[in-house]
Amino acid sequence: MPSKSSSRNHRNNPYLLDDLFVRGHRTAAGVLWRFRTELTTLTTLGAGYTALAHVAGLILAGVAVGGLVLVVAVLPWSRRFILRRAWCVISRHRIQRVCFETRMHTRSGRLPLVLRIHPTKVGERALIWCRAGICAEDFEAHAAEIAAACYAREARIESNKRRAQLVTIQVVRRDTLAAHNVISPALTAVTPSQRETNKSA
């Protein structure tokens, strides 16, 4: 008599591809995908150094690469460019981490996907693809945790009006409208009679 097929048999699992993706996310390939920006930068610098070393020698190649890094770090516009892109990479990792820690993931362990993140005048703007079982309200409920994880002032959540699976996270690091000269509370506590006394003295 043929054995009855069990619903727990992996061949009958309708979410087999999801399980394979989760396993791949935790493997070396998943790590390579999450750190693709850092690996691309290191690979480019390493390839440039190797090419210069073949042409000019190891010492001259090291001096050239070091000088280029120094110039990029000193110039204001290039330093701002690098810092803003670095914050984008940091925020992407921190958003993924806070989704894991607050359990904003599917039952199979799949995290929301950060489709795109780019710098803005106040911080960063990330476009998130929500997996099945996750919605914009989940992000709104954890806005404070997202802001704390990204080392920011606040995190503003915007849901897409046409596609409910897309969520935008606005990471606010600085307020462009804030006053640059902050008056000390000790100065504001001075009474008018004290001001007249100080003027006459």
Establish if 107 belongs to a structural domain.
Answer: yes
Residue numbers of the domain that contains 32? 25-74
What is the mean pLDDT, run by run of 10 residues, along the chain of 201 residues?
44 52 58 77 81 78 76 77 90 92 84 90 93 91 94 93 93 75 54 58 54
Half-sphere exposure of 47 (CA within 13 A, CB side): 6
115: enclosing H helix or E strand: strand 113-119
Helix (H, G, I), strand (E, B) or coil at 160: coil
What pLDDT is stored for residue 159 in this prediction? 92
Amino acid at 201: A
Task: Looking at the structure, tell me whether residues 97 and 167 fall in a common domain.
Answer: yes
Establish if 185 belongs to a structural domain.
Answer: no
164 close to 131: Cβ distance less than 8 angstroms: no
Task: Looking at the structure, tell me whether residues 67 and 126 fall in a common domain.
Answer: no
Establish if 17 belongs to a structural domain.
Answer: no
- H-type alpha helices, 26-102: 28-34, 36-56, 58-74, 76-101
Task: Looking at the structure, tell me whether residues 107 and 169 fall in a common domain.
Answer: yes
What pLDDT is stored for residue 183 in this prediction? 55
Number of domains into which the chain is organized:
2
Establish if 82 belongs to a structural domain.
Answer: no
What pLDDT is stored for residue 153 in this prediction? 93
**CATH, residue 149:** 3.30.980.40
Task: Looking at the structure, tell me whether residues 109 and 165 fall in a common domain.
Answer: yes
Establish if 5 belongs to a structural domain.
Answer: no
Task: Looking at the structure, tell me whether residues 121 and 156 fall in a common domain.
Answer: yes
**Whether the predicted model's global pTM rises above the 0.75 cut:** no
